[in-house]
Chain A
Amino acid sequence: MQDILELRGLSKQFATHRAVHDVSLAIERGAFFSLLGPSGCGKTTTLRLIAGFESPTAGEIWLKGSRIDALPPFRRNVNTVFQSYALFPHLTVLGNVEFGLRHAPAADAGQRVRRVLEQVQMWDKQSRQPSELSGGERQRVALARALVLAPEVLLLDEPLSALDPQLRKQVRAEMKALQRKTGVTFLFVTHDQEEALALSDRIAVMRGGEIEQAGTPEELYRKPRTRFVASFLGEMNWVDAVGIRPECLRVSSDPVLNGRAGRIAQATFLGPHRHLTIRLESGEVVTAQTAAGIVFDDGEAVRVSWDPADELRFLS
């Protein structure tokens, strides 16, 4: 597969702080790529640099083999789904979706509008005003408005954060299906690691303006290169400077077994499994995930052990 978007040594220095520093990335055509990190890590600035709302202080942006970092936003064949959706309040759903086609006239404009509105199930509501739509519907119109222009890359700035949690999972699935169906490359910015893991083909974890690690969700989860990545994706226990995932811990009430001694601080039943918080005698507090069938009482003495192969070690 060929790379459609490439960032080379991209940096953005604002008057007071360094937002993005020496970011290099290559994104494959048709991929669902996520930039993941805590707020202020530079992920949104990176997205805005690609869209053209900010200009980089150093570095290059290449889209489909041509350099675009000096072009104004209206000349870049990328489109953005904004965090707030930024639908035009004075236009209907249809008016919003047709907005960009005025600047890029296409012979099949009418068909394209219809197809994309049907894809996001908003064809019936085409004459509504944005103020008459629910959050999920607005998000779909924002997607349609950008996708109708057939961008090389669709940039999504935390498009799920404005939705309530129950809706988020459903919309997430719809979005992934839409990406697969249209084949458009998605560059998705989020601070939600679960979202990134569920959606992405590849993820780049950002911290302090730099890329900490990039890879498939599984690589990042199983072989995190830094303590930050290990802690940011999923839960992580730290025992003797070694990282171990909760699901890798074995917990037993048999006192003769090998392992570290501890007591159950809290046991929570979560349906398919139990979530245990254990205070070790050495002082650390660890969490473990065990099968729901094994019952532990609060305060019960236990032994905690793990396979050394599951240990994650990092250079400090």
Chain B
Amino acid sequence: MTRLRRIFVMPAAILMLVTIAVPAGIIGVYSVLSRGAYGGVELPWTLENYGRLIDPLYGGIFVRSFALAAAATALCVALGFPLALFIARAGARKNLYLSLVILPFWTSFLIRLYAWMFLLRDTGLINTVLQSLGVIREPLPLLYNDGAVLLGLVYGFLPFAVLPIYATLERLDKSLLEAAADLGARPIAVLTRVTVPLCAPGIAAAAILVFVPSLGTYITSDLLGGSKTILIGNLVQNQFTTARDWPFGAAVSIVLMMVAVALMFAVRRRGEELL
């Protein structure tokens, strides 16, 4: 039995090792080397790359990235929970609604972000319509700001919040909800005192699934945030391309990874305490 299990796990384990563990190891090594003159890395070993992160300039980028990721997470959970609840109680239409949630994945995320740019830019659909209706005279600054990035993150990651919450709601023992109503709880109290607490593992999973990729987002902030919104992901990209400072880019990546892993453990611990 254990041998069969080992064989089953092997392909995925090898793939993870080659595509995640090995590159992460290389990044780790790069982060303690020195910068090469034309990109790349050179000896000697140094910890200076990590020291540079203390600079308030980078601190600010970290704080802003965290704030945006936290806001995107909060919004995704706040919007995703009612949607998941709706789907879980939709009876026969459940599968239809679930496929609608997943439908956007059929188109490349990049193309969908470009679509948002066409909607949001000064000469985009929203501004044109509002101007022709006489609601506004000057176009609203909808694109190239934190708000646009937040919108893009929420739009992109909402399905990742809906699905795990839906999964826990779906498994929820219906007799617990009946018991709460039977004991005098109105529908809103049933929701806050039974449904939401029992859904905590799903909400925690949703939060991780949204927060971690939001924190490292690069393409959303690059396209919708313009040059003004630099987040951690863009910082890393810049170091490896224009700035040609691979060791520093690697150091930023490592810190980002550590934070993500630490958060996941913290949330899982809390989740286990709750149940």
Contacts and interface: CB of A to CB of B under 8 A. Distances in A.
B126 interface: no
Interface string A81-92: 010101111100
B181 interface: yes
Interface in A84-103: 84, 86-90, 99-100, 102-103
B184 A149 contact: yes
A80 B184 contact: no
A99 B180 contact: yes
A263 B246 CA distance: 99
Most buried by B among A79, A87, A103, A145: A103
A145 B184 CA distance: 12
B181 A99 contact: no
Contact of B184 (A84, A87, A100): A100
Contacts of A79: 182-183
Contacts of B182: 51-53, 73-74, 79-80, 146
A53 B178 contact: yes
A104 interface: yes
Nearest to A104: B184
B89 to A, nearest CB: 15
A72 interface: yes
A86 B182 CA distance: 11
Given A84-B173, A89-B198, A90-B274, A72 B181 contact: yes
A74 B185 contact: yes
Given A73-B181, A74-B181, A88 B194 contact: yes
Nearest to A51: B182
Size class of the contact patch on chain A? 20 to 34
B141 interface: no
Interface residues of B, number: 20
Given A88-B194, A89-B198, A90-B274, A73 B178 contact: yes
Contacts of B183: 74, 79, 99-100, 103, 145-146, 149
A166 B99 CA distance: 49
B67 interface: no
Interface of A: 51-53, 72-74, 79-80, 82, 84, 86-90, 99-100, 102-104, 145-146, 149
30 contacts: A51-B182, A53-B178, A53-B181, A74-B181, A74-B182, A74-B184, A80-B178, A80-B179, A82-B175, A86-B178, A88-B179, A88-B180, A88-B194, A88-B198, A89-B176, A89-B198, A90-B197, A90-B274, A99-B180, A99-B183, A99-B193, A100-B184, A102-B185, A102-B189, A102-B193, A103-B184, A103-B186, A104-B184, A146-B182, A149-B183
Given A51-B178, A86-B175, 14 more contacts: A51-B182, A72-B181, A73-B178, A74-B182, A74-B186, A80-B178, A86-B178, A88-B198, A99-B193, A100-B184, A102-B185, A103-B185, A146-B182, A149-B183
